[in-house]
A and B are shown apart, each in its own frame.
Chain A
Amino acid sequence: MVCACRPFFVLGKWMTKKTILNDAHRELGARMVDFGGWDMPVNYGSQIDEHHEVRKAVGMFDVSHMTVIDINGTQAKPFLQYLLANDVTKLTRQGHALYSCMLNETAGIIDDLIVYFLDDTHYRMVVNASTRDKDLAWIEKQAGPFDVTVNERPTLAMIAVQGPKARQKVCPLLPDRLGFSAAEIKPFSACWFGEWFVGRTGYTGEDGFEIILPENKAEGFWKQLLKVGVKPCGLGARDTLRLEAGMNLYGQDMDESKHPLESGLGWTVAWQPEDRDFIGRSALEAKKKQTNEQFVGLILEDKGILRGHQTVVLDDGLKGEITSGGYSPTMERSIALARVPATIGKTCKIDIRGKLKEAIVVKPCFVRQGKVQIENE
């Protein structure tokens, strides 16, 4: 059986990769794009409608292109304590999840990921699609001295169902008693049954689940979700939702040339206990003293749209750069995340096609649980 999640080589060229739900997207009339070598739906009509639906009710995303990696073995915990900048020791109950960066020796971010604790000899990591090859090579190399095996799970699909109504729609459709367990789990926890794995996590700032399941069950599950009124949503809405929620996008808000402290991710680094050596720790400690940049949110006051790479001009004349910009359907304004000198005040200007437009500076999080987080908006 061909695994639809693997790239395949036909007649001398690499074919675009497809998830198991590719036909289902096309049947729904999705507008498809090449996303890092994957043929993915960008929208099914209006990405703004899809965005609003997730904030108000429920929407679902095919995220099967992401990479699921199981770490198994007696030394799974010490291995991950070394590999990751956040500390898996914090995961004390079964299913508990952690968001972390994985750094190289110079504290550059290789990827950001979520790791789940299943038991003492089994952790599960979900990493980005675009970084699959380098992440796997790095993890396998670092695992060498430890008694662990690194097992990618390419025959598992993944569907994210997000929004205030997500859990009530999903639970009745899960197999056997999994629906009862799923209804009980706390945010940032997971439960599982057989090959089905349900995490109460997401990339939208809303409540919901990310469901990992055998790929031969994915199409049936997707169609059941459609039947109960869950709206299919594409990568376009996924991006506007995560931007509003202030969630970083690897490759845009950070990459290997950046470290967590200048990417708004200082909170994901566990410095305690001091004797936990993790890859990149000493380099990051040195950078802690030198860093004079910070990561902020921006809201454009004038009309227009903020975009990645636009220059931010501070009141004192220093300059920064927008890392992710776009339109916020919830706020009906343009918003952005930016890396700027630490001297930034409450306002700044942005160079948009040669014109300087006014923006206000806020914390890098705009909307959560359907509510705008910014005061006096």
Chain B
Amino acid sequence: MSNTPDDRKYADSHEWALLEADGNVRVGITDHAQELLGDLVFVELPEVGQSVGKGDECSVVESVKAASDIYSPVTGEIVAVNDSLEDSPEVINDSPYDDGWIFIIKPVDTAELDDLLEADGYESFTEDE
């Protein structure tokens, strides 16, 4: 059973979004997602300074078998990306909620987070998949 921390919100496209103390939103993919994908071998990171809309594809993670798009859960500007993933994409498999974070967005409106699922909502969603 994948784990789903309840300190953050979830999209049905398997991203998690964590509102941080400075008002920025940190984004990654869930344990369920990394299990489905298998060993990750490449991550295409967004550019710092890039503007993204909620639901826009802004990153790609590739496992040995397939490429998977990552969608931004909120509208805003990319302020940081996890460069360590360039050489070690497998960190996402080992630590999807901590060291495997992918990018940080400065959101235009944190109310967009209300549209996302809570931890138990995401868990029910993945059980039904």
Contacts and interface: CB of A to CB of B under 8 A. Distances in A.
Is the pairing of A and B real?
yes
Interface of A: 31, 42-43, 46-48, 236, 240, 303-305, 307, 326-327, 334, 353
Interface stretch (B21-29, B62-70, B75-83, B98-106): B62-70
Given A334-B41, A353-B67, 4 more contacts: A46-B39, A236-B64, A303-B42, A304-B44
Contacts of B41: 48, 305, 327, 334
Given A326-B64, A327-B64, A303 B39 contact: no
B38 A305 contact: no
Nearest to A50: B39
A307 to B, nearest CB: 7
Contacts of A236: 38, 64-65
Please provide the 7 A-B residue pairs with the shortest distance between their CB atoms, ordered closest to farther: A327-B41, A48-B39, A305-B62, A327-B64, A305-B42, A46-B39, A47-B39
A327 B42 contact: yes
Contacts of B39: 46-48
A46 B39 CA distance: 6
26 contacts: A31-B38, A42-B38, A46-B38, A46-B39, A47-B39, A47-B64, A48-B39, A48-B41, A48-B64, A48-B90, A236-B38, A236-B64, A303-B42, A303-B86, A304-B44, A305-B62, A305-B67, A307-B67, A326-B64, A326-B65, A327-B41, A327-B42, A327-B64, A334-B42, A353-B60, A353-B67
B44 A43 contact: no
Interface of B: 38-39, 41-42, 44, 60, 62, 64-65, 67, 86, 90
A25 to B, nearest CB: 16
A51 to B, nearest CB: 9
Contacts of A307: 67
Contacts of A326: 64-65
A240 B64 CA distance: 8
Contacts of A327: 41-42, 62, 64
Contact of B38 (A43, A303, A334, A353): A43
Nearest to B64: A327
Nearest to A355: B44
Nearest to A237: B64
A236 B64 CA distance: 8
Contacts of B38: 31, 42-43, 46-47, 236
A326 to B, nearest CB: 6
A371 to B, nearest CB: 21
A46 B90 CA distance: 11
A229 B39 CA distance: 23
A46 B94 CA distance: 11
Contacts of B64: 47-48, 236, 240, 326-327
Contacts of B90: 48
Nearest to B39: A48
Contacts of A305: 41-42, 62, 67
A171 to B, nearest CB: 32
Nearest to B44: A304
A332 B64 CA distance: 11
B5 to A, nearest CB: 23
B23 to A, nearest CB: 32
Nearest to A33: B65
A238 B39 CA distance: 14
B105 to A, nearest CB: 22
A236 B65 CA distance: 8
B42 to A, nearest CB: 5
A236 B60 CA distance: 20
A240 B90 CA distance: 17
Most chain A beta carbons < 10 A, residue from B39, B44, B60, B90:
B39
Contacts of B62: 304-305, 327
Contacts of B42: 303-305, 327, 334
Contacts of A47: 38-39, 64
